[in-house]
Amino acid sequence: MRRASLTLRLSMMFVCAVVAVLVVAGFTFDAFSQHHFKALDRQAMTEKLESIRQIMHGKAGSADSSEVVLQLQALLGAHQELSASITTKDGKTIFATPNAVEHPPSHSGVPGEDMWEWTAGDHMYRGMRAQVRLVNEAEPLTAWLSLDITSHLHFVETLRWWLVIGLTISALVSAALGWLVARSGLKPVAQVTQVAASMSAGSLKERIPMDAVPRELESLVSSFNAMLARLEESFVRLSNFSADIAHELRTPISNLRTHTEVILAKKRAPEIYEENLYSNLEDLNRLSSIIDGMLFLAKSDNGLVLPAKEKIELRPVVEKLFEYYQLLADDTGVKLQVSGHGAVYGDGTMLDRMISNLLSNALRYTPPDSAISVRINPNGDMISLSVQNPGEEIAAEHLPRLFDRFYRADPARREGATNNAGLGLAIVKSLVDVHGGTVGCASGAGHTTFTISLPAWDSDAHHPTYTNAAAPSLG
């Protein structure tokens, strides 16, 4: 079953609200109208009964019974809808207007009410009674007043029909107006839908203008535009990343093919074949390094790299890596220095790889006969480890992108040895992220410093342990 559109839903809600208000207003108006007519009838009959009392008591100017009758006729005869009669205690009528009606046998009505209603034929009446005394007479008499309210009821009935007709017309008009208002108000939503439907890899630069967006939809449109910006940035990075992968893989594959073609062009000595195999092995190692790095980064992006959390002293890790890189440093006369102490909450194998990549990067760009300094400093609930080396400064515009995959400040230059794939710093950032830390780079005054901050070990805190089934190898 097809669901109703949001425009239709809002229109129906608007119509229901309008109809509810009109129904309540109609019932209220009907109740007040009936109450108003009833109050007017009560007031009129009360005034007539009071006038009858004054005439009967002789307060109107005469005590003669014939004069009293004339005064009563003058008082009551001018009202076509009002009838009256005066009866004795035994029910004998001593006065009645020409249009007098017989009062109902039961006139109590609602308990406590001094006015009651009854029906006679096609007419509806309201009535009141009162005890009166004729001047110079001791026996009390009963004055009956009856008011024909049939015309009132016809008016109220007509008014009700007009209210129903007006309610129906108002509901239809409200439905049309509600639909127009909802459709106009939801135009920004339709625009978002249109932009989303037309979105493709070539139109990620499109944005929804914020000028005509209602305040209620500003957050939605802003979030959608921000999503488009993130998608555009991710797509650009993915495109560049794909191009970089193709470039990185093309070079060793091209070398392998060229060497093989040259060797196979004619018969050669076994030593030449052996030399070619060693050369091919270097390119194969480069390909293996690129593939390993890409597999690790893919796992990291999908949350598949889970570090085993344990207490790790950073200084022994750095000193162990110094032993590994000491021969390479001695070849160029570079000194390796470490200072400070600190224990972090992390995975030992990943920390080895993280610091190893930073040291390898520093050795690659450090001039001969210089020194690389590693400093470990506690900083609140974090431990910072910085690797500083002298050398050519990195321009400020390149610093934010140093940790992007395959990014090079100088694209025309091959970085370092042939087995360098340009993924070392990207892997460092990924490893730092899974540890809940931060990494950054600063370059100036002839020195470049990479600094990572990791959660410090707290012996009083409870640390959960995760099993890392696929811990990356060192390198």
Which DSSP string corresponds to 335-347? EEEEE---EEEE-
Going by pLDDT thresholds of 50, 70 and 90, the confidence category of residue 304 is low
Going by pLDDT thresholds of 50, 70 and 90, the confidence category of residue 385 is very high
CB neighbours of residue 81 within 10 Å: 16
Measured CA to CA, the distance from residue 470 to residue 189 in angstroms comes to 45
Tens digit of each residue's pLDDT (9 = 90 or more) over 337-370: 999 988 888 888 888 888 888 998 888 888 998 8
Measured CA to CA, the distance from residue 399 to residue 420 in angstroms comes to 20
Q: Domain ranges in the chain?
A: 6-172, 215-301, 310-455
**Measured on CA atoms in the order 297, 303, 305, 310, is the torsion positive or negative?**
positive
CB neighbours of residue 196 within 10 Å: 12
- The answer for residues whose C-beta is within 8 angstroms of residue 189's C-beta and 6 or more apart is 6, 217, 220
* Joined tokens for residue 415: 């970085």
pLDDT at 202: 67
E-only strand ranges, 301-455: 310-313, 335-339, 343-346, 371-379, 382-390, 438-444, 447-455
Measured CA to CA, the distance from residue 180 to residue 452 in angstroms comes to 58
Q: How far is CA 220 from CA 4, 6, 173, 225, 227, in A?
A: 22, 16, 31, 9, 10
pLDDT at 374: 92
Q: Exposed, middle or buried, 286 (CB in 10 Å: 0-12/13-18/19+)?
A: buried
Measured CA to CA, the distance from residue 95 to residue 70 in angstroms comes to 10
In the predicted structure, residue 270 carries a pLDDT above the cut 80 = yes
Range with the poorest average pLDDT among 161-165, 327-331, 366-370, 406-410: 406-410
Cβ proximity of 460 and 382 under 8 Å: no
pLDDT at 17: 87
pLDDT at 470: 36
Letter for the amino acid at 294?
M
pLDDT at 412: 43
Instruction: Tell me which residue has tokens 């690797």.
Output: 387
Range with the poorest average pLDDT among 251-260, 361-370, 380-389: 251-260
Measured CA to CA, the distance from residue 146 to residue 148 in angstroms comes to 7
Cβ proximity of 387 and 374 under 8 Å: yes
What does DSSP say about strands 382-390 and 343-346: parallel, antiparallel, or unpaired?
A: unpaired
CB neighbours of residue 464 within 10 Å: 5
Q: Is the pTM of this model over 0.75?
A: no
Tens digit of each residue's pLDDT (9 = 90 or more) over 46-74: 888 888 888 877 654 455 667 777 777 77
Q: Which of 333, 313, 323, 322 is nearest to 358 (CA)?
A: 322
Class of domain 6-172 (CATH, top level):
alpha beta
Range with the poorest average pLDDT among 34-38, 75-79, 364-368, 414-418: 414-418
3.40.50.10860, 3.30.565.10, 3.30.450.20, 3.90.1150.10: which CATH number matches 310-455?
A: 3.30.565.10
pLDDT at 409: 60
**215-301 architecture in CATH?**
Orthogonal Bundle (1.10)
pLDDT at 417: 43
Going by pLDDT thresholds of 50, 70 and 90, the confidence category of residue 375 is very high
Percent of the chain's residues with pLDDT above 90? 6
Tens digit of each residue's pLDDT (9 = 90 or more) over 141-158: 888 888 888 888 888 888
CB neighbours of residue 125 within 10 Å: 20
Q: Which of 359, 357, 362, 368 is nearest to 421 (CA)?
A: 357
- Residue 307 sits at φ, ψ, to 5 deg, of -70, 145
3-class state of residue 396 by DSSP: helix
Measured CA to CA, the distance from residue 98 to residue 69 in angstroms comes to 13
Equal fold, 6-172 vs 310-455:
no
Range with the poorest average pLDDT among 62-66, 95-99, 414-418: 414-418
Higher pLDDT among residues 23 and 248, named by residue: 23
**Measured on CA atoms in the order 66, 72, 75, 81, is the torsion positive or negative?**
negative
Q: Exposed, middle or buried, 113 (CB in 10 Å: 0-12/13-18/19+)?
A: exposed
Measured CA to CA, the distance from residue 437 to residue 1 in angstroms comes to 51
In the predicted structure, residue 461 carries a pLDDT above the cut 80 = no
In the predicted structure, residue 464 carries a pLDDT above the cut 60 = no
